[in-house]
Copies of this chain bind each other. A is one copy, B any other.
Amino acid sequence: MSDGLEALAETSTEPLRVGVLGARGRMGIEVCKAVDAADDLELVAMIDQGDWLFNASDAGAEVVVDFTTPDVVMDNLHWCVDQGISVVVGTSGFTEQRLERVRTWLSHKPGVGVVIAPNFGIGAVLMMQFAARAARYFESAEVIEQHHPKKLDAPSGTATHTARLIAQARAEAGLAGMPDATKDEVPGARGADIDGVRVHAVRATGLVAHQEVLFGTTGETLTIRHDSYDRASFMPGVLLAVRSVTRRPGLTIGLDALLD
C-alpha cells in the first residue's frame, strides 16, 4: 500500500538505509514491515537479541530504529551515536538522567540526531496539541476516553495528560472554573477530576482505544476525537521520525517537535 507520508521525504535518488533493533519484537516486526513497504527507505538490518550490532554499521545503516528494552537501550544508543548513526527510539524508561547522558554523547557528534518519543501515534499527538490550543477559548472542556475492558487504569494516561494540558492552558489564559450547577450527583456521574477538568472512562468489549475532547461555549461545541484501531497506527509516526532524524542533529524529545 502506498504511504501518503512518503511524499514528505526529500526527493533523493537513493533510499535512506534503515536498521531495526528489536526486530523480532511486537513493535519491531511492524517497523520492519513499514520500512520495507516505503519506497524511499531501505531495510538493511534486522537485529535482535544475540545478533551483533555491527551488522547495522556493516550494512551501511544511516538510521537505526530501537524498540528494545530499558536495560539494553542505553548501550544501543551509545554505540549508534559513536558510529555516527542517527537513532529513532520507541523504547520506554527514559529518565531525565538518561536523557542528559544522551545529550553528552551527542555533543561529541554534531552531525548525529536522536529522536526519543513515548508515543508515535500522530493522531494522539495532534489531538493533544489541538486540545491545548482550543482550551483557552471555551468555557467548558471535558475528556471522554473509551477503551477495551482489559485496561487496568482509568482514566488512560493519554486522557490524564490531555486534561493536564487543558488545565494548564486555561490557567495561562486566566480562565475561571467551568460552570457546573450539579447539586444532586450519583457518586461518580461527573467523572474524575484531573486538575479541575472532568474525565470520563468508558470500558466496553469491542472497543480498542478512543478519546474525545469536548469543548463548549455559548451556542457551540468543538469536539476532537481520536480512534486508534491497531498497533500499526504508530508506524506513520515512526516513519516520520526516521525521515526527519538525519536533518535534526542533537536530541529531540516527543513527536510534537516533528509536527511543525
User: This chain: how many copies in the complex?
Assistant: 4
Q: Is the CB of A153 closer than 8 A to any CB of chain B?
A: yes
Interface residue ranges of A5-59 to B (CB < 8 Å): 5, 7-8, 34
**A 175-187 to B, binary, CB cutoff 8 A, 1 in contact else 0:** 1101111111111
Residues of B within 8 A of A201 (CB): 182, 185, 189-191
Interface residue ranges of A148-197 to B (CB < 8 Å): 149-155, 160, 173-176, 178-194
Residues of B within 8 A of A257 (CB): none
Are A189 and B133 also in contact (CB < 8 A) when A144-B200, A220-B229 are?
A: no
Interface residue ranges of A195-226 to B (CB < 8 Å): 198-208, 214-226
Q: Which of A84-92, A100-108, A109-117, A118-126 is found at the contact surface with chain B?
A: A118-126
Is the Cβ of B200 less than 8 Å from the Cβ of A202?
Answer: yes
Which residue of chain B lies nearest to A191 when distances are taken between CB atoms in the complex?
B188
Is the Cβ of A189 less than 8 Å from the Cβ of B200?
Answer: yes
Residues of B within 8 A of A259 (CB): 137
Query: What DSSP secondary structure best describes chain A's contact surface?
Result: mixed
Give CA–CA (A136, B137) in the complex, Å: 25
Q: Is the CB of A97 closer than 8 A to any CB of chain B?
A: no
Task: Please give the distance in Å from A243's CB to the nearest CB on chain B.
Answer: 12
Residues of B within 8 A of A189 (CB): 154-155, 188, 191-192, 199-201
Is the Cβ of B186 less than 8 Å from the Cβ of A206?
Answer: no
Which of the residues B194, B220, B225 comes within 8 Å of A123, measured between beta carbons? B220
Interface size on A, residues (CB 8 A): 91
Q: Is the CB of A130 closer than 8 A to any CB of chain B?
A: yes
Q: Is the CB of A235 closer than 8 A to any CB of chain B?
A: yes
Task: Please give the distance in Å from A130's CB to the nearest CB on chain B.
Answer: 5
Is the Cβ of A216 less than 8 Å from the Cβ of B204?
Answer: yes
Is the Cβ of B121 less than 8 Å from the Cβ of A126?
Answer: no
Are A190 and B188 also in contact (CB < 8 A) when A182-B153, A200-B202 are?
A: yes
Is the Cβ of A198 less than 8 Å from the Cβ of B194?
Answer: no
Q: Is the CB of A127 closer than 8 A to any CB of chain B?
A: yes
Binding site for B on A (CB under 8 A): 1-5, 7-8, 34, 121-124, 126-127, 130, 133-134, 136-142, 144, 146, 149-155, 160, 173-176, 178-194, 198-208, 214-236, 240, 259
27 contacts between A and B (CB under 8 A): A2-B176, A2-B179, A3-B218, A5-B217, A122-B138, A126-B222, A130-B133, A130-B134, A139-B204, A139-B206, A144-B144, A144-B202, A149-B179, A150-B179, A153-B183, A153-B185, A154-B184, A155-B186, A179-B205, A182-B201, A185-B201, A186-B194, A188-B191, A198-B203, A202-B214, A218-B233, A223-B226
